Amino acid sequence: MSNIRVTYSGLISFFLSLITIVIGTGFTLILTRTLTQEEFGIWSLISSLIGYVMITNLIISYWSTRETARNVKSGKTAIVGTMILAICAIAGYIIISILMGNQTQTNLDILMFASILIPPMFLYGILNAINLGWKPEVVSYGTIIFVISQVTFASLFVYYLDYGINGVILTNLIAYCISIVILFSYAKNHLKNNLNLFFFKSWLRLSWIPIYPGLFILVDTLGIVIFSAMTGSVLGIAIWAVANTAPAIIKNVQLISRAVYSKLLQGGEKKYVEDNTIQLFYFNILMTGIVIIFAKPALFLLNPIYQDASILVILLAIRNFFYVLTSIFIQNLGGNETIDMDENATFMQYCKSKLFYPNTLRLIQASIFISLLPVGIMVSLQNNYETIQILNFWAALLVVFTIPLAIYLYLITKKNLEFSLNYIIILKYVAVAFISFISIHFLLEEFLIYNESIIEFLPQVIGFVILAISLYVALTFVVDKKTRDLVKAIIEEIRKK
């Protein structure tokens, strides 16, 4: 298991994610250009509701990655246990779907039909977890196959056959099944072991540990339910989902540090953490700048009816910049924790561990935020604020609560993993990004022609995006030795492969 290469796995995962973004854009365009605003809002609601029950998948997948990295033979038990949990998740999904369907006046038949996605999503998740423990880049292979399948079958079911939301559900079902085949082919050697109830009992006994961090996801996404319930409509959720499309790209930067978690679980020297964190900032600044500068063109591309939400996109981009940092700091702290190797560890020891404490901070942050959100929405509705103004308030509140936590977790991570960052280098990246993207902004204002035809508009946007990335990389290459070292590292890692 010691053959995990942090730089290679991280860069492969990230660059494959960029390819995935390009291909996945086709799927998003099919949805935003084909579905009505109400239908897109319903699909966003479905995704959120499934997300709530998917939290139970963490009960096993969380431990599966750690055990695979440490060569513990629990793969087959993990698969069987996960499918049992999937059945329970379907029951939970049906209950909350009935409640939300009545509240938002959404077609209940569509919500029920979407439950067929839960079993393949659970299986996809556990296979990802197993592969992450021994060959992290495989997760990206599964993802790219998934988005290719999405585009292919969405073109058939949604665009040509006009099946609407049912077509989107069928598309995702088939895409998950195809990806599962790929992921299984890599994970099969880790499934050649016997069923062992000891593992399953242990996972259930300690289920509160992976579920606890997942509570943050539950609370964080509760805003969608609160907003739709208080406004009685899914139209605002459609705008929120579309506005999240471009900023969501920033979260792919986390893949740069994906292999760090597996490497930390194996123990040994941690010198690679500092270099990896610098790389994380490099790409995080790049992707955030791209999303901010191209906020308006991205919305126009998705559908001109959403183009007034550019401020919302910018706020969400800033939030995701710090969200990425927060997630990686928590991940690395957890990877450096060994308490789960002690079979006699007590509840209080777990509570004080790095598997628990950082997530407590995150849950507190999310809980305070989500308690203030309905108050803000209520005041906004009483003052007859427009939907986009309420959404902007929602995003701004997210930014305010995300930044302090990211800073504090950085300080904890720095202390525990004993590394330091060269702030001069990061400031160089920020300065270069400012110069690069301000220049591109003026070029966009001067030369970008907004044409509703995708065939005519998309090539323009792609050209400007390539120019923006090239300018950032070129300038950092000139002024920063770390960037030159990164380019050399990429070449060396490719040669090693």
Highest mean pLDDT among 79-83, 349-353, 382-386: 79-83
Establish if 466 belongs to a structural domain.
no
Report residue 32: phi and psi, to 5°: -70, -25
Highest mean pLDDT among 17-31, 60-74, 182-196, 392-406: 392-406
| pLDDT tens, residue by residue, 173-201 | 999 999 999 999 999 888 888 888 889 88
| pLDDT tens, residue by residue, 411-436 | 998 888 887 788 899 999 999 999 99
Establish if 84 belongs to a structural domain.
yes
| pLDDT tens, residue by residue, 476-493 | 988 888 778 777 766 665
- 398 alpha carbon, distance to own chain's centre: 16
Query: How confident is the model over 101-122, as a mean pLDDT?
Result: 88
Give the pLDDT confidence score for residue 253 in this predicted structure.
87
Q: Does an H or E element contain 182, and which?
A: helix 164-187
CA trace torsion 270, 271, 274, 277 (10° rounding): -60
Q: How confident is the model at residue 1 (pLDDT cuts 50, 70, 90)?
A: very low
Cα separation, 450 vs 458, in Å, equals 10
Cα separation, 82 vs 331, in Å, equals 22
Give the pLDDT confidence score for residue 292 in this predicted structure.
96
Establish if 364 belongs to a structural domain.
yes
138-152, 168-182, 266-280: lowest mean pLDDT where? Answer: 266-280
Establish if 441 belongs to a structural domain.
no
Average pLDDT, the chain: 87
Measured CA to CA in angstroms, residue 35 lies from 44, 137, 159, 302, 307 at distances of 12, 33, 9, 11, 17
Phi-psi region of 164 (alpha: psi -120 to 50; beta: other; left: phi over 0): left
Establish if 495 belongs to a structural domain.
no
Q: Total structural domains in the chain?
A: 1
CB neighbours of 361 closer than 8 A, spacing ≥ 6?
405, 408, 409
Secondary structure percentages of the chain, helix, strand, coil, to 5:
85, 0, 15
pLDDT at 63 over 80: yes
Establish if 386 belongs to a structural domain.
yes
Q: Which domain covers residue 322, as residue numbers?
A: 6-421
Query: How confident is the model over 275-287, as a mean pLDDT?
Result: 91
Establish if 430 belongs to a structural domain.
no
| pLDDT tens, residue by residue, 126-144 | 999 999 888 877 888 898 9
Exposure letters 6-22 (e unless 16+ CB within 10 A, then b): bbbbbbbbbebbeebbe
Establish if 382 belongs to a structural domain.
yes
Cα separation, 64 vs 132, in Å, equals 9
Q: How many residues does the chain have?
A: 497
Q: Which CB contacts under 8 angstroms, 24+ apart, belong to 395-400?
A: 395/243, 395/312, 395/315, 395/316, 395/319, 396/315, 397/369, 397/372, 397/373, 398/315, 398/316, 398/319, 398/369, 399/315, 399/318, 399/319, 399/322
